[in-house]
Structures are given as structure tokens and as C-alpha cells.
Amino acid sequence: MRVHTRLLVTLATLTAASALVFAAEYKMTVSQDRLVNAMNEPQNWLLMNGDYGATRYSKLTRINRDNAKNLRMVWALALGGMQDVGQNGPENETNPLIDNGMMYTTDGWGTVYKIDATLGNYGKFLWTADPGVRHEGNAPRTRGIALWEDKVIANLPDGRVIAINRDDGEIIWDKRIAGKNEFGGQERFLTAPLVAEGKVLVQNGAGDGGTRGWVAALDVKTGEELWRFYTVPKPGEPGSETWKDDHNAWKTGGGGIWQTGSFDPVQKLYIVGTGNPYPIYDPQFRPGDNLYTNSVIAINVNTGKLAWHFQYTPNDSWDFDEVGVHMLYDVKIDGVMRKVVGHYARNGFFYTIDRTNGRFIKGEKYVNDLNWTKGLDPKTGKPVEYSPKLDIQIYNPEARALRGEGMKRACPTWHGGIAHQPLAYNPIKNIAYGVGTEGCFSQNGAAVVPLGPNGGVNMKASEPRKYSSDLYYGAVTAFDAVNHKVLSKVATDIEVRSGITATAGGLVFSALQDGWIVAYHDETLEELWRFNVGTPLKGAPVTYAVGPKQYLAVQSSGRHLHPVKYDNLQNSSYLFVFALD
């Protein structure tokens, strides 16, 4: 990064030459060491989810419970990215990165911006890098960027990954990574990249499009692909025995990845959640547990080999993909300090898993309504009804619609509880925070027909799926990670698509699709402040500081139509920044 500093020099003994040294430009790159210790730079926000552990916790305290009511907007800046966005708007569920007052962000079409955020009452563009993504055949979508040394790394809606020079915005390398194999343009990047050990980690998220999910590692200096791990194994690979069909369902087996993973720098493990199997709602099309879908997987970043996995919902039929954030932290459970993965699962349970080996430690329901299972086995973490002897799991038959069966009601809804929305964790109070969707849905048992023995789905010959939703609303949840219970919860009128950030000032911040930015008490979730920016919000808030002043930044986006409870807001691509009076 290039920073221009102006120093007021009053020492008479300071020579002109030394004054030039103080006023000269200097560079500070984002090293591995800085990323490992990102939480110790609270003035900055160096990774999309706050730190390698994805805990989105800031040690800043200038904005706190006592003065949050005095927050006001201090500047706003219009970005691009709203061209050809369609009905649902761009899925730019992103937030800016900040390094010593320089802000970096992107829009739905992959244009990257560097902004001077040191000016106090306005933001100033320093450069704009447009990689030229074609709008035809692509959809505007991003969940962020990454910083590494003197580079900004971005993956694009058209399957390319690029590295940009942080000083001048010039593209250093440009590589096509997604869409090179048999799935072509069906593959999509739905996550921000993460850089660790000199490797750019990117992943295919288009599992629901009938592709196989994967994680790929690229050399950060050149963009050359180093390894690729598929979340659905091919025959002969470990886990392939859990695909027991006779028509090669694994070839289009799903397991897409929707959210950036976490990184354990001690074990060199990339820990990330995988999506549902495909086709989504007919488990009889793909008998077996369907590894490694609906799982958390740990991949060695140096070799690309699987270290361990844990599967949440084998043989899923409710779209309970576990693409959500997996937070890494240390916590004392039952009197023993453990290195864990904490996860708000889409199936309605909060899980604590040993991150050294993937073994289940504890699980507890966090959604209000859950009926697809009676609970979790305290030893294995599997649903209590799960049987390894069954090719088609039954679970609760009142909520499990198999082929030929009529409408059955299941909770939580297929959009919840918490999906890809960024989470937060307060390491001092041991509270995990999540935002998402509460509710239930009903569906029938519709049979999906294979194309033939070589894989694929014949959608024209398949039975139509019927479905409906009820009890549909948003929620903010605080979970006690030590005692494993819900500490507090508040409902919102509509689902929360953004994310949540916790601070040492006793606050958590989130944003809503109907334009509200909200500050809550971090223990009781009492609302302490809200401000409406008049446009849909799906980007999670971040906080940073310039000198002694703390700021809150939120990026706007398109809307999400599940369901529409407001229809009078216009999509926008804007950056809003707040501070105290």
C-alpha cells in the first residue's frame, strides 16, 4: 500500500534531508504474520470475516453501549455494479477491507476499488480496476476480496481469478479457474478468496446447478493452479462408497461451497463447509450418505489432501447445506480447554467440533422450530434416528417427504436457520452470534429421473416439486459457547441476509434488507441504535479506526426475494460510513 504522510516538524535540529525521509512514501504489505494476528490490529479489517478464524470480533471500544445512540453518517460513496442486475439484484454480500486508512472493496460485476478513508468526512477513489466481466451469460455476485502482500485478489463472476497491484490498480495476473472442465460456464464463484501460506483458495459454489463442488489452490505470485479437491469423490476415492446409486449421481452430485472457509495456521488446515447433494429434494435418487456434502471438511493447504471431515445431515432432502461460516476458537468445555470449530448449522443445531480431528463435542438446537429429527446422538453428533445400515435415511417420517408422498411440513425452513451469513464470536465472553431465518416449509415427495447410467438429471421427465413456507421471519441469536445454550434471541420482520460483527464496546452490529443498520447489546440483544439508508442491505458491517476515531462501514447491494415483505426500495451499490458526533 502507498500512503502519503504529512508531518508537522518543529524540531529546529531536524535537517531538511531527514525531513524528506519522514515525509517520504512507505510501503506496508499484508504478510502472513499480519493475517495470523489480524485481531491485534483492531484499527484495520484485513480479512473478509475479520481474521483467519472467521470470528468478526473487533477490540475497538470507542463506539460502545453508552454512546452508540450518537452514531451518524459521516460519508457515503457510490460504487458501480448495478448494470444489468435483473430482478433479484446483485448478490454482492460483501464488506470492505481496511489497511491503515486505505479501503478496498468490490461490486457485483467484479470491479475493485481503492478508497482513501482517512479524510474524515468523505471518501476518495484512488483507483478503480475493471476486469471487463461480460454481462451476457454471467450473474453479478461477490462475497468479497483478499489482500496479500502488495496484491488485491478477486475471483470474478465469469470464473476468472485476478491479482491487482495495490499501488496503481494494474492487473498483475488473470487466470480462468472455474468452468475449465466438463461443467463449463455452470461453475460459479460464490465466495471471497482466502490467501494462506502463499496460496489463493477459491471454490466452486454451483452445486445446485448439477456440478461437483471443489476447492482449488493457486500460487499467489503467478495464479497457476497447484491442487484441486472435489467435495464429491469419484469412484475409488475415499467417500465414494456413500454414493450407492446405479446411474453415477456423483458426477453431478452438488456439494457447492457458498462461504469462505477458515484457516488454522498451526495445523495448516483450510476448514470449510459444503453444500447439499444434487438433486436437492429427492434422496432416493442418490442412496447413501452422499459424502462430502452437508459437511465440514479440513484440507491441508500444502497438499490438497483431506485431513478430516464431519457430516451434519447424511442423505439430506431439505436443502440443509452447511455452507455457513465455521469459526475457529479455543474454549473451555466441561472444564477442559478445547481447540474447536463453532458452527450455526442450517439444520437448526449449533455444533462444537474438535478442530484437530473433526470429532463431535456438543450440539444444541438454536432455532425456535425444529422437527426433522428428535435430536443429536451425544456421542456421534448424528441425528438420533440415523442408521448406517440404511441407504435411505428416514429421520422423522412426518417431516421427510419421500417419493409418492404428499405434502409434509419440516422445520427449519430450507433457507435456515443460518446459511452463509457471516457469524461472530466474542472470545472474552464466549458468545457466538448468528443471523438468519426462522420458519418452516412444506413439500411433497417428487421423484427425479436420471438421464441414464452416465449421470445427469432429466428434469423434463421428473415429477414437479410443490412447496410452501410458513412462520417465515428473521432472527439474531446469541449462543453461550461454554454452556451450549441460547443466551438471547430477537426476531426481525424479514430474514437477515447480511451478517453480524461483535466489538469489545459491548455491541454487535447487523444490517437488514429493508435498509436498517442496527446496533444491539452484545449479551441481551437489546436494540441500542438503528439507522435506515433507504436501500437493501446484504453486506455485513465492519468497524475500523483512523487515529483515535472509530468508524462503522456497511455496503449496500441488491435485494433477496424470499419472500418479498417490502417492495418500495431500489437496489443500489453504495458504501455508507458512520462515526460518533
User: Which set of grid coordinates corresponds to residue 451?
Assistant: 438421464
Give percent above pLDDT 70 in the chain: 93
Domain count, the chain: 1
Q: Cα 483 to the chain's mean position, in Å? A: 26
160 closest CA partner among 144, 176, 172: 176
Q: Answer yes or no: is 131 within a domain.
A: no
Q: What is the mean pLDDT of the chain?
A: 92
pLDDT tens for 336-354 read: 999 999 999 999 999 999 9
Continuous segment of H or E residues that includes residue 22: helix 16-23
Cross-strand pairs, 27: 2
Helical ranges in 118-171 per DSSP H: none
Given pLDDT bands bounded at 50, 70 and 90, which one contains residue 397?
very high
Q: Distance (Å, rounded) from C-alpha 106 to C-alpha 157?
A: 12
Taken in order 303, 305, 309, 314, the sign of the CA dihedral is positive
Continuous segment of H or E residues that includes residue 169: none
Q: For residue 338, give every residue at least 6 positions away whose Cβ sits within 8 Å of its Cβ, in sequence order, or none.
A: 330, 331, 332, 352, 354, 361
Neighbours of 490 (CB within 10 A): 16
Q: Answer yes or no: is 133 within a domain.
A: no
Structural contact between residues 373 and 385, judged by C-beta atoms closer than 8 angstroms:
yes
Neighbours of 55 (CB within 10 A): 27
User: Which set of grid coordinates corresponds to residue 8?
Assistant: 508537522
Total number of residues shown for the chain: 581
Mean pLDDT of 287-310: 98
Q: Answer yes or no: is 481 within a domain.
A: yes
Q: Cα 379 to the chain's mean position, in Å? A: 29
Beta strand pairing call for 91-92 and 141-142 = parallel
Give me the pLDDT at residue 46, please.
98
Give me the pLDDT at residue 569, please.
82
Neighbours of 154 (CB within 10 A): 25
Q: Distance (Å, rounded) from C-alpha 18 to C-alpha 338?
A: 52
Q: Answer yes or no: is 48 within a domain.
A: yes
Asked if residue 279 has pLDDT above 80, the reply is yes
Structural contact between residues 479 and 350, judged by C-beta atoms closer than 8 angstroms:
yes
Q: Distance (Å, rounded) from C-alpha 127 to C-alpha 555?
A: 18
Structural contact between residues 528 and 521, judged by C-beta atoms closer than 8 angstroms:
yes
pLDDT tens for 310-337 read: 999 999 999 999 999 999 999 999 999 9
**pTM of the model as a whole:** 0.94
> E-assigned strands of 157-305?
160-165, 171-176, 194-196, 199-204, 214-219, 225-230, 262-264, 269-273, 295-300
Given pLDDT bands bounded at 50, 70 and 90, which one contains residue 427?
very high
The answer to whether the peptide bond before residue 427 is cis (omega within 30 degrees of 0) is: no
Neighbours of 266 (CB within 10 A): 10
Asked if residue 3 has pLDDT above 60, the reply is no
Q: Cα 58 to the chain's mean position, in Å? A: 18
3-state secondary structure of 68: helix
CATH number where 147 lies: 2.140.10.10
Which is higher by pLDDT, 9 or 553? 553
Phi-psi region of 400 (alpha: psi -120 to 50; beta: other; left: phi over 0): beta
Q: Look at the block and give the residue holding cell 412447496.
A: 467
Which is higher by pLDDT, 155 or 4? 155
Q: Answer yes or no: is 315 within a domain.
A: yes
Q: Answer yes or no: is 377 within a domain.
A: yes
pLDDT tens for 495-551 read: 899 999 999 999 999 999 889 999 999 999 999 999 999 998 999 999 999 999 999
Give me the pLDDT at residue 523, please.
98
Q: Answer yes or no: is 570 within a domain.
A: yes
Which backbone phi and psi does 35 adopt, to 5 degrees?
-70, -40
Give percent above pLDDT 90 in the chain: 83
Which DSSP category does 567 fall into? -
Amino acid symbol at 333: I
Asked if residue 78 has pLDDT above 70, the reply is yes
Give me the pLDDT at residue 566, please.
61
Q: For residue 258, give every residue at least 6 positions away whose Cβ sits within 8 Å of its Cβ, in sequence order, or none.
A: 190, 191, 205, 275, 321, 323, 324, 419, 420
Asked if residue 20 has pLDDT above 50, the reply is no
DSSP secondary structure of 461-498: TSPPP-EEEEEEEEEEEEEETTTTEEEEEEEESS---S
Which DSSP category does 512 fall into? -
Given pLDDT bands bounded at 50, 70 and 90, which one contains residue 454?
confident
Given pLDDT bands bounded at 50, 70 and 90, which one contains residue 567?
low
Range of the domain at 243: 2-126+138-580
562 closest CA partner among 107, 183, 88, 125: 88
3-state secondary structure of 35: helix
Q: Answer yes or no: is 132 within a domain.
A: no
Given pLDDT bands bounded at 50, 70 and 90, which one contains residue 416?
confident
Mean pLDDT of 485-494: 94
Asked if residue 16 has pLDDT above 60, the reply is no
315 closest CA partner among 372, 247, 259, 398: 372
DSSP secondary structure of 70-93: GEEEEEEEE----TT--TT--EE-
Give me the pLDDT at residue 563, please.
52
Mean pLDDT of 554-561: 80
